Amino acid sequence: MAPEAPRRQPRLIDRSPSITGAEIVAELTPPPQFEHASFDSYRPDLNFPSQLEAVERLNAFAGAWLPQRPSGFFSRTRKPKPELPGIYLDGGFGVGKTHLLAALWHAAPGPKYFGTFIEYTALVGALGYAATVKQLSGARLICIDEFELDDPGDTMLMTRLLAELVASGTRVAATSNTPPNSLGEGRFAAIDFLREIQAMSANFEIVRIDGLDYRRRDIEGHAIAVSEDVLEHLVRALPGRGSIVTLDDFGALIRHLSTVHPSKYIKIINGIDVIALTDAYLLTDQTDALRLVAFIDRVYDAEIPIIASGQPLNEVFDDEMLSGGYRKKYQRSQSRLVALTTGELPPHD
């Protein structure tokens, strides 16, 4: 009997998944680490009163779904304070915006949806605009994490979509990144956000969340880079413990990501327990770097650790990237790469 051929190590670059509109809709829920997020489980930093104020304001926003009772004899003649249909969490990364957004989603009645900007634009691409409006119509709440201001076309597409949904009674909650070349370090993205969504701006209340960015502490650390021998040993040993481990050359993965829409990155890593990458190097092409950022966001949400050799992964973005308009994206990704290679996944975004 011929000996059994050795099994080939699984590779991410061999995965070119397709994704349907129905699959995207099914995934429009908070990431696993926020499955049980609540306002009570959020831990505000008492040195920054705006964090506790944000919890109270979101609780009030959620309270609009509760049955309203008359408060007194003359209450029927009083006009209730109008509640805006949209709320926007304005703050730097690392102050808990995603946790609070997920807590609001859990507090809301259904039907309801929670997704990133990329997921909603991918849904339009998969279903078409009219079918997307039909799919999301009737939702009590739409949550948009990381509302992207990088692409004017996509931003205005979402503006149009949200305008139609709000007009039909849907409420919207969003967070946002800082757009390229924004100087709003102190004001974060609120002014830019309102400018970009022009006609929608009057429907959004801004909730400011100040605070120390815990990820800036992480950035001071370093992603762990292992030797090729250690990486090879771990790749051989971990499957014996029941883990599914992929092994890819860093450059080959970067090239592969250019062939897959970012909305499909989640399916590339589906079912994977550990990602191993060899020969990481400094990226000099911003398009490649931004694809890696989007990929790492999905890996981080799925809580999949990374083992890598070569350049420490938090050092793969060059100085020009780290000082440019997308610097906050890269800083967030740096801290996530530190967490993913050290096993110290933070408790909330």
108 or 200, greater pLDDT: 108
309 or 188, greater pLDDT: 309
246 or 191, greater pLDDT: 246
pLDDT at residue number 41: 93
Query: Is the pLDDT confidence value at 163 over 50?
Result: yes
pLDDT tens digits along 292-346:
999 998 999 888 999 999 999 999 999 999 988 788 788 888 988 988 986 544 4
Mark whether 109 and 189 lie in a shared domain: yes
Mark whether 33 and 173 lie in a shared domain: yes
| SS3 assignment, position 93 | coil
Query: Is the pLDDT confidence value at 9 over 70?
Result: yes
- One-letter amino acid at 6 equals P
Query: Is the pLDDT confidence value at 29 over 80?
Result: yes
The answer as to whether 6 is a domain residue is no
Mark whether 171 and 45 lie in a shared domain: yes
Q: Which helix (H) or strand (E) holds 51?
A: helix 49-63
Query: Is the pLDDT confidence value at 348 over 60?
Result: no
The answer as to whether 245 is a domain residue is yes
The CATH number given to whatever domain includes residue 118 is 3.40.50.300
The pairing of strands 141-147 and 112-116 is: parallel
Residues 6+ apart with CB under 8 A from 233: none
Size of the chain, expressed as the number of residues it contains: 349
Mark whether 148 and 112 lie in a shared domain: yes
Please count the helices (runs of H) and the strands (runs of E) in the chain: 14, 8
End-to-end CA distance of the chain: 55
Mark whether 294 and 181 lie in a shared domain: no
What's the domain count of the chain? 2
What's the domain range around 305?
A: 228-342
Cα(292)–Cα(275) distance, integer angstroms: 14
Query: Is the pLDDT confidence value at 84 over 70?
Result: yes
The answer as to whether 180 is a domain residue is yes
Contact 24, 126 (CB under 8 A): yes
Q: What is the DSSP string of 212-264?
A: --HHHHHHTS----B-HHHHHHHHHHGGGGT--EEEEEHHHHHHHHTTS-GGG
Q: What is the mean pLDDT of the chain?
A: 82
| Residue entry with tokens 């505000």 | 44
The answer as to whether 191 is a domain residue is yes
pLDDT at residue number 329: 82
Q: Which of 88-92, 152-156, 277-281 has the lowest mean pLDDT?
A: 152-156
Mark whether 232 and 142 lie in a shared domain: no
The answer as to whether 119 is a domain residue is yes
Cα(70)–Cα(288) distance, integer angstroms: 57
Strand order in the sheet with 204-208: 112-116, 141-147, 171-176, 86-90, 204-208
pLDDT tens digits along 201-260:
778 888 888 887 554 444 456 888 999 999 999 898 887 777 899 999 999 999 999 999
Mark whether 170 and 269 lie in a shared domain: no
Q: Which of 42-56, 59-73, 205-219, 328-342 has the lowest mean pLDDT?
A: 205-219
Mark whether 158 and 269 lie in a shared domain: no
Domain-terminating residue out of 209, 243, 270: 209
Cα(120)–Cα(142) distance, integer angstroms: 10
| SS3 assignment, position 128 | coil
Using CA atoms of 91, 96, 97, 100 in order, give the dihedral in degrees to the nearest 10: -140
pLDDT at residue number 218: 44
Cα(270)–Cα(263) distance, integer angstroms: 13
Cα(118)–Cα(151) distance, integer angstroms: 11
Mark whether 238 and 332 lie in a shared domain: yes
Contact 62, 207 (CB under 8 A): no
Confidence bin at 68 (pLDDT 50/70/90): low
The answer as to whether 51 is a domain residue is yes
